[in-house]
Chains A and B, each alone.
Chain A
């Protein structure tokens, strides 16, 4: 939990200490806020704090300067205890311009700190942010500790010696700000200096100027005797021993796919098409060619999935990735993969919808699309990731199910997880069980006819024959196939049998996934909060707090959305109330009601922002009066 900063006024040198801090950098999309936040995150991780981040940026690449819709922000919650969310209310807001202040000040807790660059608070920028007069002067910021100084001017002064133009000089102000932030939390500047030297290796002047700005910001903290500006220490969190790094969801997912392909013994083929917020996976995987990964940027979303299906047919692990609108386009091809019973991993980095919706904001509103959204009775397996680091294991699980059951698997992640970073205890591949694929290559006996749809009697998966295998030539396709021969068959009874078989194959996966566990709390009780996907963090913290004050609340987090774990229904029946917080209008709630006839109640939020812990706490409060 983010606690307010407690100042010690005994001596100038005394440092405050805090269990956790929520900090947000906000400025124009051209101000480099994502970069500043990313580097502050790295510095935080190296200090040993637990952390969670929330990058939030406009869909426009370079929105007009100074506008409210052009504000880009980066929030980080770091602490000496377990951090599961990017934090509810902000302790420290850095506002690089009036628009950044206007759009973010409402999220700052009373008594929180505002660091403001007065250099940008000119008439024009104030007007763009719809301020009649400067909020610094009109008393409207009375609830906060305001630290306003001319960062722009101090940056220009600090880099004067390098002879940069005014525009280039001002671009260093994010490093000045970062320098001040590093001082505020007593951080080592050396890794940042190294990073700047690498980043600007080809332009030493820029490297030096940015380093000078970073040092100037740090020195300002050290020397300026401004009331309220003090150093705060946040102790390292007591983490499990091991090697750590920070990882975003997109990074962990890409690495997990590489790992999954390796564990299956297959080469991976990734067909993708650029779309926010899924593109990062395509970028990441295109760098891993030495791991047998082929990436193909197709002409459209349909070609992306179809090429992956073609690769699976040819004996590789086909993977495709998109966000909601692209997933909609891929629908017909998913049916083909279901009909031809080929392995395929489909990743959906969900964003706000419908249609183009909110491309850069997060939502969980594609669950119906994932479970139900295709023509015909077209079942596939659906699983979800709960956090950035969790994406690694979930990606491996998707590869396992796809190859072991000859089915498409949809992996649901979201825009929040894709971009957010958290510390990750790096696993060792030796600890993962491999699931090598065995291609069918058994020669036919004299007079024997090949049935490419011959099935494993237990899992119902069909055999997988690679083209190129002698004597086993066969034809597959989207038309219904005969259960016994694999030839085209339009007959009524056969279609019934094949439809049932496809459904039962997917339902049977439930025998090969872990039973549902209770994340926190008892197996029965007054209230269970059931979550899936990226709501894990806020639910976990909210339940922790409620339990700390003696409330009978449990937390169940569901990873396998379809099929559901076999014991989930029994578990749910052990609770008087069931609450399902979701960043949609109640999709998983409906699924649970349908499957178990339970009175699951929704808690919905579709603002494009993750749940706050307090919002879930309030809902618990209301149900357990």
Chain B
């Protein structure tokens, strides 16, 4: 790997035995990452995977790049230090629903607010897997788990709405089984300058099997998801007959059927991924309320990054102050001499 010959997926795989449960959605995400990185032209030595704690956080051990498996919830803070110390590194943050939104919610919020130039992949399986199946902050009301034997009563957090609310400038969503769509999202996230937040619906076969099947299973997927494309009308369905229209009286999205009640393609809202209000509405759409689940880039609107601002200010002040002289600094201010 000492020359710049194109790399293959295998070049990004370590010799470590992967220890996820058979059938876990994490395998598909790992394979997808190993396949995508060579297409981005990145070098393994310039790539760092940083994770917290949880099933997904074992991810770095299986990537033949630099990697840091940190502590529960704190990966965003470690990643901030890495990126500020060496902005040249490509940093990927691997986290889960508990890691990013429960114990590490504070750090996730501030990383997004600051717009650190890294990619955040949140593996959302709506459950605590590694601790053996307790409900998580994204579990739906009524989730039965070892800690909620009679069903959970608190409402679920939405990762994409959390990200938008925190000021994220890139928010996307995909599914672990979408082996064509997921690489596109990884690529878009990589290309975006700033904090790129990607929620991946990831199936936990042991503790929460098929929790997303209502809208991800092959027979229903097309009718249950709207695949967002910038500049294109938000039309979906097996026969491409359903669409999203903006109800201008009540400022919300509504599902309409093309050809019914005089609805034509002209009535369908065109996706503008720079529009934060629409991104928010797309994130709010609940499958249980008859909406399709929005997949793809909900929001992309680049802004200056935190790391570039820090580096620029450091350089600017350093240039203004001139060559540093520690002896001079020690003698700064009022001094006196004893002879």
Contacts and interface: CB of A to CB of B under 8 A. Distances in A.
Contact of B81 (A299, A314, A426, A479): A314
A614 B154 CA distance: 61
Given A288-B329, A303-B74, A333-B71, 13 more contacts: A258-B329, A302-B74, A303-B80, A306-B78, A306-B80, A310-B81, A316-B85, A443-B2, A467-B82, A470-B43, A470-B45, A476-B67, A488-B61
A312 B2 CA distance: 26
B262 to A, nearest CB: 52
Contacts of B77: 271, 298-299, 302-304, 306-307, 310
Interface in B60-79: 60-61, 63-71, 74, 76-79
A426 B79 CA distance: 38
Contacts of A288: 329
Closest 8 pairs between A and B when the two form their complex, measured CB to CB:
A310-B81, A477-B69, A306-B77, A307-B81, A475-B67, A314-B85, A303-B77, A310-B78
B2 A467 contact: no
A300 interface: yes
Interface in B307-339: 310, 313-314, 317-318, 321-322, 324, 326-327, 329-331, 333-339
B69 A42 contact: no
A443 B110 CA distance: 38
A291 B324 contact: yes
11 contacts: A244-B335, A245-B334, A302-B107, A306-B71, A309-B81, A315-B85, A332-B71, A336-B71, A470-B45, A475-B14, A475-B68
A239 B76 CA distance: 51
Nearest to B338: A239
A267 B85 contact: yes
Nearest to B76: A303
Contacts of B322: 290
Interface in A474-515: 474-479, 487-488
B222 interface: no
Contacts of B46: 467-468
Contact of B318 (A290, A308, A479): A290
A476 B69 contact: yes
Contacts of A150: none
A236 B339 CA distance: 12
A315 B329 CA distance: 25
Contacts of B109: 299
A408 interface: no
B251 interface: no
Q: How large is the interface on B (under 10, 10 to 19, 20 to 34, 35 or more residues)?
A: 35 or more
B48 interface: yes
B78 A468 contact: no
A333 B74 CA distance: 9
B221 interface: no
A467 B331 contact: no
A61 interface: no
B256 interface: no
B84 A470 contact: no
Contacts of A259: 326
Interface string B27-62: 000000000000000011110101000000000110
Interface of A: 42, 45-46, 48, 191, 236, 239-246, 255, 258-259, 262, 267, 269, 271, 288-292, 294, 296, 298-300, 302-304, 306-316, 318, 332-333, 335-336, 340, 425-429, 443, 466-479, 487-488
A34 B326 CA distance: 29
Nearest to B45: A470
B45 A475 contact: no
A21 B23 CA distance: 79
B264 interface: no
Contact of B84 (A255, A307, A333, A488): A307
Given A289-B318, A475-B14, A478-B69, A243 B334 contact: no
Given A302-B74, A307-B81, A311-B85, A429 B318 contact: no
Contacts of A477: 60-61, 67-70
A205 B44 CA distance: 64
Q: Which of A46, A313, A316 has the largest count of B CB atoms less than 10 A from its CB? A: A313
Contacts of B317: 289-290
A420 B86 CA distance: 37
Contact of B1 (A255, A333, A427, A471): A471
Contacts of A476: 67-69
B147 interface: no
Contacts of B70: 306, 309, 336, 477-478
A425 B70 CA distance: 43
A603 to B, nearest CB: 35
Contacts of A240: 338
Nearest to B16: A487
A313 B337 contact: no
A478 B71 contact: yes
